[in-house]
Amino acid sequence: MESFWIDSIKNNIEFDTLNEDKETDICIVGAGIFGLTCAYYLSNLGYHVTVLEKYEIGEKTTGHSTAKITSQHGLFYDYLIQSYGEKYAKDYLEANEKAIKNIKQIIDKEKIECDFEYQNNYVYTTKPEEVRAIKKEVLALEQIGFQNCDFVTKTGLPFEIAGAICFKKQAQFNPMKYVMGLAKNVVSNNGEIYTNTTVTDVKNEDGLYVVNTENNKVKSKYVIIASHYPFINFPGFYFAKMYQSTSYVIAVDTKKTLFNGMYINFTNPIFSYRTAKWNEKEILLVAGGDHKTGQPTAYQDSYGILEKEVKKYYPDCDIISKWSTRDCIPIDKIPYVGAYSNIMPNMYVGTGFKKWGMSSSNVAANIIVDNIIGKTNKYAYLFDSTRLKPIKNRDEMKNMIVQSTNSLFLDKIKKPNMKFEEIKNNSGGIIEVNSEKIGIYKNENGKIYAVKPVCTHLGCLLSWNDVEKTWDCPCHGSRFNYEGKNIYDPAFRDLEIYNLDT
């Protein structure tokens, strides 16, 4: 199951793995859209940047997103006014509107061919009883003086809606073509990018940072952690402030003329729609099936629900590809951007962009760059990464604590609920042998793969994901394939495996 964004740039440009020690001005850990946007701006300012990426460029979150560039982050502005006040909501909106313009400016200046197009963005409902929430959001936007939106009852969608709020002149693009364009520019500015290079820790030595990889080190004055989920646990404590959410995307050849606009509803089941270009054809992307990463899900609740929905309107459609994605969700719903921690000067972070990383990553990159060059950024206060304000979203907080505690402690003493012979081919589960938990996956032919199902981040018990054949962590969302190889952070080490041949 592969994202067609990633397919669209295969063999486009190749990077080396780091194989010697380096010194640089700024070391950036992570080559997704946020890391590469920082690298782009900083290398254009004359800094020498070195970017270290565990996988390939954009291969994780960026290459699996729906790539809507918008300041409309669900029904969010009424929440912001209620929680943080009018000025805060207005600045948040302005920062994200500016990000759309910044991205367009980069694309024009660097002539990046990435299928960028302006589109209106809609948050809609098909349920009359939910129209009130949309109208409340319209009023909130009026209150902060936003002219660029309307309440509408008609859209291009192939079904009737009860109401929607439309943000005009938002945008969509191919995120992989965009990040490749950024990367090329970084390299032409003498920046260095290394892929398949895993950072294991960052240490401060005599006022400089030493970023250690598995075999080498990079010394720099500044470090930017752009690795999706920050992997340094102490200080920072990001593991206590965010969880990961999984959602699913299908790319569909509808064989019909499609509509304009990007769409998402706001209560479960969530469905998100946008069009995209594929081999000169216009296709439809449908996303949804959201759940907390690590919670068990079934095919019918993930890809299945999307396929069923799209076939209602396009019965003759073909599914071209499907993929899942993970997003970091801060408990108070606000990204963390700025200093990694108060006790680590010159080390920065940008994370927790929720489902809206295309615009938020540009906002974040500008804040970090301004910080490094000593310029005031009027939006920096919005995302203060060291904030210690009381968490407003108490339900989310409680939920996360209960789930982490369950997984860290209670699940370890509970009896596993599977016996070896109960695990069917092409499926997995946890069994117990001599009081030891073992994660078993049997492939289609009955070949057995056995791992220690304990997360290498902070030790939570993993759960088997039968849709994607992976071991997922319910605490902070790390994932491992059935062979135990780490495929998603914040963990970066592979699982212990049991050799069944001996």
Binding site for ligand FES (CB under 6 A): 239, 455, 457-460, 473, 475-478, 490-491
Nearer Cβ to ligand FES (106/461): 461
Comparing C-alpha atoms, which of 79, 151, 162, 80 is closest to residue 122? 151
Residues 494/485, Cβ–Cβ less than 8 Å: yes
The end-to-end CA distance of the chain, in Å, is: 33
Q: Please, what is the minimum distance in Å from the beta carbon of residue 299 to ligand FES?
A: 24
Question: Which C-beta is closer to ligand FES: that of 217 or that of 457?
Answer: 457
Residue 155 class from Cβ within 10 Å (0-12 exposed, 13-18 middle, 19+ buried)? buried
Of 60 and 457, nearer to ligand FES (C-beta) is 457
Return the number of the residue (210 or 458) whose C-beta is nearest ligand FES: 458
In this structure, which long-range contacts are made by residues 80-88, counting pairs with CB atoms below 8 Å and at least 24 apart in sequence? 80/140, 81/140, 81/143, 81/144, 83/332, 83/392, 86/143, 86/144, 88/382
14 or 234: CB nearest ligand FES: 234
**Which CB, 272 or 486, lies closer to ligand FES?**
486
In angstroms, give the least distance from the CB of 228 to ligand FES. 12
Exposed e or buried b for every residue in 419-452, given b needs 16+ CB within 10 A?
eeeebeeebbbbbeeeeebbbbbbeeeeeebbbb
Identify the DSSP state of 408.
I
Nearer to ligand FES, 370 or 494 (CB): 494
Measured between alpha carbons, how far is 49 from 498 in angstroms, rounded to an integer? Answer: 40
Q: How far is the CB of 488 from ligand FES (least distance, A)?
A: 9
The pair of three-digit structure tokens given for residue 271, joined into one six-digit string: 């469905």
Judge whether 197 and 20 are in contact, CB under 8 Å. no
What's 332's DSSP letter? T
Instruction: Give least dist CB 412 to ligand FES, A.
Output: 12
CB of 34 to ligand FES, least distance (A): 20
Supply the minimum distance, in Å, between the C-beta of residue 238 and ligand FES: 10
Q: How far is CA 320 from the centre of its chain?
A: 22
Min separation Cβ 445 and ligand FES, Å: 30
Choice between 113 and 496, CB closer to ligand FES: 496
Q: How far is CA 450 from CA 40, 171, 425, 493, 499, in A?
A: 43, 45, 14, 16, 7
* CB within 8 Å of 7: residues ≥ 6 apart: 321
- Min separation Cβ 408 and ligand FES, Å: 7
